Amino acid sequence: MLRDKSLVSLSRQHQHALALCVRIDRSWVAGDIDLHAWQAEIEQIVEQEIAIHFAAEEKEVFPLAENFSDLRPLVAELRAEHEVLRGYFAKARERRFAREDLRRLGEKLSQHIRKEERQLFEGMQARISAEDMRKMGEALERALAAASESCLLTNEKTKLRSKGEGH
């Protein structure tokens, strides 16, 4: 199903976060993990985009979805996942990450995003009127205005280097 334009800004931010997850996975597989650099980058991304994104979902998207009894359990799961992810973000901010925390964060964030895109957004688009989606979209635009719209560039220490680069 084509994404409703009211949800495009959230989906765009989801793409940014999924790119982070891919980079974490590649770094993990390559064994090239600088925890200090990753924690600093995660802290920056959370401050610039993810914290604002979560707040917007919790204020504008989740309450609208909860109007539908069949979406309530899903919203409850997503709210709980936000709390788990916030726990990982706090560990990164406090520089308390273990190597395994980085891997788990990448996995959990990826799973969470896919659940929102495939289940919540699809479910909302099938149930919510065009007018209510439009109103939600306008509220989301206001709520997301503080988030960085640019793609975050990779930190030199966390960028996966190809074998032939000689670094």
Considering only CA atoms, which of 2, 19, 4 is closest in space to residue 140?
A: 4
Q: What is the residue extent of each domain of the chain?
A: 7-146
106 has a pLDDT exceeding 70: yes
Q: Which of 144, 134, 133, 131 is nearest to 58 (CA)?
A: 144
The strand ranges marked E within 27-158 are none
pLDDT tens-digit map of 111-147: 999 999 999 999 999 999 999 999 999 999 999 987 6
Please give the Cα distance from 53 to 15 (Å, whole number): 12
The pTM of this model reads: 0.86
For 34-39, what is the mean pLDDT? 96
d(CA 69, CA 129): 16
Rounded CA separation 92/37 (Å): 10
- Residue 130 one-letter amino acid: A
Identity of residue 159: K
Give the SS3 label for residue 88.
Answer: helix
Mean pLDDT of the chain: 89
Query: What's the pLDDT tens digit per position in 41-85?
Result: 999 999 999 999 999 999 999 999 999 999 999 999 999 999 999
Q: Compute the average pLDDT of residues 12-20.
A: 96
